[in-house]
Amino acid sequence: MQEQIPEFSVSEISFAIKRLMENTFAKIRVRGEIFGCKRADSGHYYLSLKDENANLSAVCWKGVAASLAVKPEDGLEVVATGRITTFAGKSNYQLVIEQMEVAGTGALLKLLEERKQKFAAEGLFDIAHKKPIPFLPQVIGVVTSPTGAVIRDIIHRVTDRFPTRIIVWPTLVQGEGAAEQIAAAINGFNNLPANGAIPRPDVLIVARGGGSLEDLWCFNEEVVVRAVYNSQIPLISAVGHETDTMLIDFAADVRAPTPTGAAEFAVPVKSELEARLLTIQSRLISAGVRYLQEKRNLLDGLKRGIPNLEQILAENVQKLDDRSERLNLSFKNYLENRQNRLSLSEIKPFYIKNIINQKTEALNNLGLRLDSVSVESVLKRGFAWVKNARQKTVYSAADAQKSANLEVVFADGSVKTKVIVRKDELQGDLFDR
């Protein structure tokens, strides 16, 4: 029985299985969810496809990976096209991927929504972070493919509206490596020195034409979204058509519906600005003319209200002459009158004597009246003068009670007294000591 069982070497068995697998599964399509995806330094991708019951190892060589419409990543459900081969060194088999596509738009949209929620939670889409687009940029930086209609449309639109310098940073906009190139271009523009040989743009445009969700997927990659968020230069996103919305649109400062629309956001229309300036200039001139005319009219009105200065001056000069003449005459008449009064020589002596007697009698009468009301005269008639310690006259008993010492002045001298108030008698009685 043992002689009838064929005998093989390990290599023969491995090669036989390899031929069987490769012949049987030379061209197949496998649907599954990617997990354990890793990109080697060589550029090859190593991953597994799984469903609810099993998993299948897979590899995507560097040359093929660069042309894939979707970058392999964990959690993405795909349909991979390729062939089954074996690896004799470990006695296992794997799928060599030649093409890959998303297993339906629903899976890709699910992944897109998960990323959107993640980035929103981190604040990458916050409105407060948005920067205003400069009104009239001197330099526009464009990140896009150097060939195709997109860059031509942007240049044409900018030239039509307001000719401005455009610097293009060429990148892939689809497939393997596109996301990394786009992020590097955004960071590169931001790192340009302000006064370098290549001027730093005042605004950036990241643009691509329309396509499927898979074609536009690089604009949903995390490296692109973070580069847009970290850009210090205001950035306009213009990816796909108006109905296409990528994650870059949420992180950008402004989202344009098309690349042509991005050019319209970037620069104003020069002819409209010129027309507006002409209108403003015309209004300014008209306002200046009206202002000067109003001031001229006001000046004319004030001029009419001012009397004839020469006439006023002449009238006042005439008045001054009249007053001067009258002053001279009055002064002359006054001197003549005084002189005439002094020259009288017929003044009667008795007339002067009567005047002296009358004035003397009046003076004597005034002296008698003054003497009759003097303090000495009053005291001689039996009155007394009461003063307090401060030599102030005391006019009432109430005032006397407020002073401890009093002085009573008579015609022939004064007496010092003290005020004593007895409790058993009326307040105000005065007693000598």
Residue 79: partners with Cβ closer than 8 Å, 6 or more residues away: 29, 30, 31, 100, 101, 102, 103
Residue (of 276, 261, 270, 274) closest to 136 by Cα position: 270
- Higher-pLDDT residue of 306, 169: 169
Backbone phi and psi for residue 421, each to the nearest 5 degrees, phi listed first: -115, 120
In angstroms, the Cα distances linking 253 to 166, 186, 201, 227, 231 are: 19, 13, 15, 12, 10
Backbone phi and psi for residue 38, each to the nearest 5 degrees, phi listed first: -140, 140
pLDDT computed for residue 427 by the predictor: 47
- As a whole number of angstroms, the distance between CA 206 and CA 252 comes to 9
pLDDT computed for residue 348 by the predictor: 59
Give percent of the chain with pLDDT exceeding 90. Answer: 45
* Banded pLDDT at 206 (limits 50, 70, 90): very high
pLDDT computed for residue 37 by the predictor: 93
pLDDT computed for residue 117 by the predictor: 93
- As a whole number of angstroms, the distance between CA 249 and CA 262 comes to 12
CATH 2.40.50.140 fits 8-103, yes or no: yes
Give 191-205 pLDDT, tens digit per residue: 999 888 999 999 999
SS3 at position 309 = helix
CB-based contact 409:385 (threshold 8 Å): yes
- As a whole number of angstroms, the distance between CA 112 and CA 84 comes to 31
* Banded pLDDT at 413 (limits 50, 70, 90): confident
From the centroid of its chain, how far is CA 70? 45
Looking at every residue in the chain, the average pLDDT score rounds to 87
Q: How wide is the angle at C-alpha 202 spanned by C-alphas 236 and 130, nearest 5°?
A: 45
Taking the CA atoms of the chain, what radius of gyration do you get in angstroms? 61
- As a whole number of angstroms, the distance between CA 392 and CA 374 comes to 17
- 75-109 burial, b for 16+ CB within 10 Å, e for fewer? ebbbebebbbbbeeeeeebbbebeebbbbeeeebe
* Banded pLDDT at 432 (limits 50, 70, 90): very low
CB-based contact 201:137 (threshold 8 Å): yes
Give 117-166 pLDDT, tens digit per residue: 999 999 999 999 999 999 999 999 999 999 889 999 999 999 999 999 99
**DSSP single-letter state for residue 362:** H
Q: Is the pLDDT of residue 346 over 60?
A: no
Q: Is the pLDDT of residue 66 over 60?
A: yes
**DSSP single-letter state for residue 75:** T
Give the strand pairing for 254-255 and 55-60.
unpaired
CB-based contact 83:64 (threshold 8 Å): no
CB-based contact 427:401 (threshold 8 Å): yes
Q: Is the pLDDT of residue 288 over 50?
A: yes
Q: Residue 262 CB: number of other CB atoms within 10 A?
A: 31
Sequence-ordered strand ranges (E) for 105-164: 139-144
Backbone phi and psi for residue 11, each to the nearest 5 degrees, phi listed first: -65, -40
Least confident range from 18-32, 104-118, 124-138: namely: 104-118
| pLDDT (average), residues 21-45 | 91
pLDDT computed for residue 262 by the predictor: 95
- Higher-pLDDT residue of 227, 426: 227
CA atoms within a 13 Å half-sphere pointing along the CA-CB vector of 366: 6
From the centroid of its chain, how far is CA 298? 42
pLDDT computed for residue 90 by the predictor: 78
CATH superfamily for domain 112-126+134-267: Succinyl-CoA synthetase domains (3.40.50.261)
Q: Is the pLDDT of residue 330 over 80?
A: yes
pLDDT computed for residue 294 by the predictor: 92
Residue (of 57, 20, 60, 24) closest to 39 by Cα position: 60
pLDDT computed for residue 361 by the predictor: 87
**DSSP single-letter state for residue 400:** H
| pLDDT (average), residues 410-417 | 86
CA atoms within a 13 Å half-sphere pointing along the CA-CB vector of 210: 7
Give 67-99 pLDDT, tens digit per residue: 876 778 888 888 899 999 988 777 889 999 999
Give percent of the chain with pLDDT exceeding 70. Answer: 93
270 dihedral zone (left: phi>0; alpha: psi -120 to 50; beta): alpha
Q: Is the pLDDT of residue 312 over 90?
A: no
Give 1-11 pLDDT, tens digit per residue: 556 788 888 88
pLDDT computed for residue 72 by the predictor: 86
DSSP run (H or E) holding 175: none
